[in-house]
């Protein structure tokens, strides 16, 4: 399964950028974001997303 991970703006929470990753990469990305206080929005990726 693939997930879209969007990095959110610190001020207003709007998406700044996004990437699509496999399930095995989600934990690593979340840990990295948590260590620096980044806000993320994670959702299942659409089949056509890349």
Q: How many CB atoms lie within 10 A of CB 10?
A: 10
Size (the chain), residues: 50
Average pLDDT of span 30-35: 97
Taking residues 43-50, what's their average pLDDT? 77
In Å, how far from its chain's centre is CA 28? 11
Per-residue tokens: 47: 């089949």
Cα(16)–Cα(30) distance, rounded to whole angstroms? 16
pLDDT given for residue 29 in this prediction? 97
Domain boundaries, given as residue ranges, for the chain: 2-44
DSSP 8-state assignment for residue 20: E
- How confident is the model at residue 48, as a pLDDT? 64
Q: Give SS3 for 46.
A: coil
Mean pLDDT calculated for residue range 17-41? 97
């Amino acid at each position: 399964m693939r997930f879209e991970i969007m990095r959110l703006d610190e001020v207003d929470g709007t998406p700044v950028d996004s990437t699509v990753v496999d399930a095995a990469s989600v934990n690593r990305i979340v840990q990295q974001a948590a260590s620096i206080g980044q806000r993320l929005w994670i959702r299942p990726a659409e089949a056509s997303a890349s």
